[in-house]
Amino acid sequence: MKIRVGDNVVVRTGKDRGKSGVVSKIYAAQDKVLVEGINSKTKHVKGRDGVPGDRTEIFVPIHISNVSVVDPKSGGPTRVGYLVDAKGAKTRIAKKSGQAITKAAAVKKEAPKKEAAKKEVKKIKA
């Protein structure tokens, strides 16, 4: 797959055509990517036990064929190619302008914080 996490992509087809965003997750088995702010759906949650129902907006993955990497020079969509230098280092380049696509921005995954379970110890008098 030529698209990586952190790449700036533009949507080529569908209801969000022309919008751009950053890839936050890749689903390689389904050939889909999750782009921030693209392909929103409304999820309806049923109310239970006195809690009212709610509608929330979620973002669902979009097929990888419907997005293109943004060219660093022109800002438009481009295809991705590879250039191997004499040392054997492989770099991604934009086919449209020939410029190198910068390394994908490191997206930090927030690890769930482990809160120490507060256990109350009862002392038993012997």
The token pair that represents 31 in the structure block: 């050939």
The mean predicted confidence, pLDDT, of the chain is: 85
Do 5 and 64 form a contact (C-beta atoms < 8 A)?
no
The domain 8-94: what is its CATH number? 2.30.30.30
Domain residue spans in the chain? 8-94
Q: Sorting pLDDT into bands at 50, 70 and 90, what band is 113? A: low
Would the pTM count as exceeding 0.95?
A: no
Q: What is the mean pLDDT of residues 94-108?
A: 76
pLDDT of 88 strictly over 60:
yes
Going by C-alpha positions, the residue among 47, 42, 24, 43 that lies closest to residue 34 is 24
